[in-house]
Chains A and B, each alone.
Chain A
Amino acid sequence: MIIAEKKPIEEIIQEVEAYDRILVLGCNECVTVCEAGGKKEVEVLASVLRMNFMAQDREKTIDEQTLERQCDHEYLEEIRDVIDQYDAVISLACGVGVQFAAEKYMTTPVLPGVNTVCLGANEDRGLWTERCQACGACVLARTGGICPVSRCAKRVLNGPCGGATNGKCEISKDTDCAWQLIIDRLKALGKMEDYEKVAPVKDWSTDRAGGPRTVTREDVKI
Chain B
Amino acid sequence: MRLKIPTNFRIIRVPCSGKVDIIHILRAFEKGADGVYVVGCMEGDCHFNEGNFRARKRVEQAAKVLDKIGIGGDRVKMYNLSSGEGPLFAQYSTEMVNLVKKMGPSPVRLARQRMAKKADAA
Contact = CB atoms under 8 A, between A and B. Distances in A.
Interface of A: 9-10, 13, 40, 43-44, 47-48, 50-52, 54-57, 59
The dominant DSSP class at the B interface is helix
A43 B111 contact: no
B69 A9 contact: yes
Interface string B68-106: 111100000000000000000000000000000000000
Interface residues of B, number: 19
Given A54-B112, A57-B114, A47 B23 contact: yes
Given A44-B23, A51-B71, A55-B110, 5 more contacts: A40-B21, A48-B65, A54-B111, A54-B112, A57-B111
B122 to A, nearest CB: 13
Nearest to B111: A54
Contacts of B27: 47
B22 A52 contact: no
B23 A43 contact: yes
Contacts of A13: 69
A43 B22 CA distance: 10
B108 interface: yes
19 contacts: A9-B65, A9-B69, A10-B68, A44-B22, A44-B26, A47-B23, A47-B30, A48-B26, A50-B30, A51-B26, A51-B29, A51-B108, A52-B69, A54-B30, A54-B108, A55-B111, A56-B111, A57-B114, A57-B115
